[in-house]
Amino acid sequence: MKEECGVVGVLLDDTKSQSKTAALQIYYSLYALQHRGQESTGITVYNGGSTHSLKGMGLVPEVYAREDIVKLVGHVGIGHVRYSTTGQSRIENCQPLIVNYKSGTVAIAHNGNLINGHDLRDELESEGRIFITDSDTEVVAHLLVKELLKHGAVESIKNVMKRLKGSYSLAIMIDDLLIAARDPLGIKPLCIGKTDLGLVVASESVAIDTLNGKLIRDVKPGEIVVLKDGEVESHQVYNTTHAAHCVFEYIYFARPDSVIDGQLVYKVRERIGRELAKEHSVEADIISPVPDSGITSAVGYSRESKIQYQEGLMKNRYIGRTFILPGQEMREIAVRLKMNTIAENIEDKKVVLIDDSVVRGTTSRRIINMIKDSGAREVHARIGSPAIIAPCYMGIDMATREELIAANNKVENICNTINADSLGYLSIDGLVRAIGLDKEDLCMGCLTEVYPLEIPGEKCQCRQTRLNQF
């Protein structure tokens, strides 16, 4: 699985920052959000008269040179890291997306996925609108520009939100005005922070931490926030009885040191491990994680089970992006490039292997085979999420139902397929207890086949949202 995007917006206080280094602040923030997208990245700033951008394919340190960053003068800007779920991997889809219109310039950075994106695109194309990308973000941009010709910024964004169905966390710059918006169910994370130099909005609080700032709060589901003159101006567009926060932010996507919707991700993952140990205990010599996302849950499992934590796998953190040649032998080499066993730690041991999820099962099988080939007597797989039985429509690049191993197999069959001695998934209730939020405030469509929004052909336990008048 891959997350698709991270967004950030920075507004500097002119009285505190004479150097106007919004671009440098955005650069550091995007570095902290690199885990959310490694395909492309972009920074756009407003210099008082016009917008200027740097964009490129690749990782943050590959795309930006310091001499280029310091030339991006401006006290306000937005940035983006991307992994595509909607739209191909090409420079045209690199964000922020910029649209010039009669009264100025709009720049948008988007994290999420629109369920009705294709329908809206067809409608806009029938009106004669021309698209240069195939991403949802340009749909949002066209809708916003239409509204800005008739209304002010907040009213325009409110009207756009009324048209959108799906998940979205948006950082929007309209000339020098910085605005953030979150979908009515709060599916994707978005938070606000304050630094010595000004205000920040970001997908995760780690971006604010990197700037030595302080997390103020999360953007509420259905809220528009305007960052202006050092103040946060709130407009609650929608009220909802229950949110639908994505559970995989807590299980896998977010950095462990992030705080998302009031929950420290590290603590959630540690509780996941403890719940796993309670639900699926087994006699073993060591608890070992699949790095990096399995580490914190393995710590929790070890503490709850009183079985020693010991690393049996070491991740190559400097591999970057690789090209993989076809053929089974090359696929095996690809796994070993990314991860290697510490044979002395696992030889002749009964190993409990903690991983965050099993999607297709192919990677799990290769890792377990590596551990057994290094001398482990037994490998017991413990998974820090319930079985994934359905696709995601909200912005996670996930397999189809036909490819999902748990959608078509019982646990016993999956265990045999991945060559484990036993297999235990975290239960839905165990996951909810670990996250610490109300079950009704979580999106678990990929785990339950019941979605919080109406999707053709799928079951829906639709959340009720009420549009505020203001």
Report, as residue numbers or ranges, the catalytic residues.
5
| β pairing state of 286-289 and 350-355 | parallel
| Sign of the alpha-carbon dihedral angle for 363, 332, 380, 267 | negative
User: CA nearest 103: which of 66, 56, 145, 74?
Assistant: 145
Q: How far is CA 450 from the centre of its chain?
A: 21
Cis peptide preceding 292, ω within 30 of 0: yes
What is the rounded distance in angstroms from the CA atom of residue 116 to the CA atom of residue 191? 25
The two structure tokens encoding residue 52: 């200027």
Residue with tokens 């932010």: 249
The answer for residues whose C-beta is within 8 angstroms of residue 450's C-beta and 6 or more apart is 444, 459, 460, 461
DSSP H/E element including 82: strand 76-82
- The annotation status of 246 as a binding-site residue, yes or no, is yes
Write the CA distances from 280 to 5, 354, 376, integer angstroms: 34, 12, 20
- The annotation status of 392 as a binding-site residue, yes or no, is yes
Write the CA distances from 75 to 60, 176, 180, integer angstroms: 21, 8, 17
- The annotation status of 373 as a binding-site residue, yes or no, is no
- The annotation status of 288 as a binding-site residue, yes or no, is no
Contact 172, 179 (CB under 8 A): yes
- The annotation status of 293 as a binding-site residue, yes or no, is yes
What is the rounded distance in angstroms from the CA atom of residue 374 to the CA atom of residue 44? 49
What is the rounded distance in angstroms from the CA atom of residue 236 to the CA atom of residue 280? 43
What is the rounded distance in angstroms from the CA atom of residue 40 to the CA atom of residue 137? 15
- The annotation status of 356 as a binding-site residue, yes or no, is yes
Across 371-394, b (16+ Cβ under 10 Å) vs e yields bbebebebbbbbbbbbbbbbbbbb
- The annotation status of 415 as a binding-site residue, yes or no, is no
DSSP H/E element including 344: helix 343-346
Known binding-site positions: 246, 293, 355-356, 392, 443, 446
Known binding-site positions for Mg(2+): 293, 355-356
Known binding-site positions for [4Fe-4S] cluster: 246, 392, 443, 446
